[in-house]
Structure 1
Amino acid sequence: MKKLFHLKIGDFAPSQSSRTLSQEGFLLCVGAKLAKAPQVRNYYPEEFGGIEGFKEGFAFGVYTSAEELFSKATIASAEGKDATNSHPPGNQVNAATWQGYSIGGLTNVREEDGYLVGDLLIKDKNAIEQIQTNEKIELSLGYAADLIIETGMAPDGTPYHAVFKNIQVNHVALVHYGRCGGDCRVGDHNPNPEKTMKIIVDGIPFDVADNEALAAALKKEQDQLANLKAAKLKIGDQEFSIATELDAVQAVADQMVTSNKQMAEKIPELEANQATPEKLEAMAADRAVVIQDAKKLDPNIKTDGCTCEQIKREVIKAKAGDALVTAVLGGVAVGDAAVDRIDTAFRALAATTGTMNPANQLFQPTSTPTHVGDENKNTQPKLEKWQQPLSP
């Protein structure tokens, strides 16, 4: 019985001393452990498309002997094969697909102290980052092999129900979990790993067991949180660190809310004072009347470039000695007088233009004697004048 399938043997977590970055930025991992033998690993029937006599969902042991793993044929089949980031569709790399999936290659495959090891040259930037940050640090061999159903006992006393024969390596895939155990440094994929996995979220470690999806989700959230903490928030010309300057951000936001509220409160006033065509026409008509009245009161008054209030103040200043002005302003200087006082005084002056000022009449004599030449016609002594009869 021969099947094409992938096996993930151990953890790809070589020591830092075995990792070397080339001048081109490639990552060379020397002596990465690919597999060990003899060893019994657990599989499920459904991984092989179902096996007669084996119930789905129940694992059974498959034995790999040292003679099989370290045979010249197995080692030769692994030499020069492609490395991929996860397994490609069909778990096979060929001439038609290698360019789309290859991230590097495997060379110098050999046996060392009971392990199948090799040197990996990883060329893909994303894969290198995943390895260097320990995000994805295991390898899986993709290969074809004969699955022989037979029972037996491994040298360490572990029972098995089948053996692998005639292993032909096709590729090496970078994956998350291994089946061989922690001492293998290049993984054999385990869909139900027994080992646990710890994720640190905001400084607190969590054991997510064999839930790869949960581990990936938590790591994504952790990365997003780290990015958020490192992010900068720009408000206007000011820039703030979200992680350390939230109080300052809140203060700016509060000020913006206050300013917005104040502006909203001023909108009715601004709308009321908005210069509409009708208001402009009325203002022009009022200005024309002011200029007309000002010219009547003072023909030499300057009106160009002056506001109506300025024109009124100049007119009143020219009439500062007028009794009416004094009465309205109450003795306050023209420059210090309130706008309503200036308006009242100007209107009063305009209303009395061309007529005798009644206020001034209060300070004029009731009659004026007529003199012709130097002669005084009234020769009667003042002491006797009271005796003259009154005119009817």
Structure 2
Amino acid sequence: MPSVQRYDSVPIRDYHFDDQTGFLYVYRVPIAGAMVQKYVKSDGSEEMEAKLPEEILSDSTVSSANSKPVTDGHHGLVTKDNSHDLMKGFTASNGHVEGNMLYNDITITDPNLISQIKNGSKRELSIGFETQMDPTSGTYNGTKYDAVQRNIRINHVAVVPKGRAGHEVRLIGDSAEAVDQVEPSEEKGNQMETRVVRADGQNITVAADDVEKITKLDADNSAKAKQIADLDAQIKKLKAEKAQLQGNADEANKKADSAQAKADSLETDNEKLKDQINHLKGDAFDERLNLIDKVKSFVGDSDYDYHGKTDRDLKIDAVKAIKGDSIDFEDKSDAYVQAAFDMLEKPKQVSGYAGPDPETKGDSQDVDLMALRDASYGY
């Protein structure tokens, strides 16, 4: 089952201040409950996901709500490496279940965040958690769902602006009514999600985080293609008007000249738009996909995560997949990395005369490249 991140929200109810420290306390916060929620994903699709009682109210999930960081907004998973910057408070250790709801207390220590809560600019608590998606459908309390959130592990509690679109749970007594929950495209789960999108007339598989960028690019291309089609139609119409006007008197000739000027102007705009589309498509996107495919042929396709890596990182990963750590890339130039990557397609052993030595420029980098070549050919 794929592991993903989710964010659910509840409004901050009554809070209190410690007279000595000035810390803000919120007691008995309803963190989550057994329910079915609609999540609108980054690709625009919707999925009804169930928090079944045996999952959200399990001992492991309740325990995961204890002693966790409180943050100012969501910034991905909170760990020891980023807690110094992100942690603005903490949850208590009294996570417990009442009915179909999970409760806990929170303490907020950061003065800026406390001020935002007091002035009303931030008045909701949004739970950030990891869960594994089980694509099992069913019905809970009369509501159909498409998948079940299993192995729910709460990572942090974020304070977010009041009424933030897509992250609100309105409390009615001791229960919660869920509205659309948006899965932010900038957050990643433990396992990369992919989507199939149609771009430039063909289906391609991309990382879920890149869907918005790809679809926007394709939408821009489609919009400009429509503009070109409209301009072509206008040009055709104007040329027809010109042909009709050419048989008339001087006034008709003037109109024909005007129509020709418009047609020329439209043709110029047409060419500009075509250039813009070619620029939008460019070679960068295709080159990136080709590089990823090539690297996958060396590192394997099943578990390799290329998202967020530079071209240099991808090439180094490919070399290490074949040669291990025998080559040190620290402080090496991009040319050195490119040479090591290119040599992966060459035979590892060369018998007989291998041709004249390449010309060198005499600097330390050339020595490195020559050593890399010798190692690759087995000298």
Kindly name which structure, 1 or 2, has the bigger radius of gyration based on alpha carbons.
1
TM-score normalised to structure 2 length: 0.43
TM-score normalised to structure 1 length: 0.42
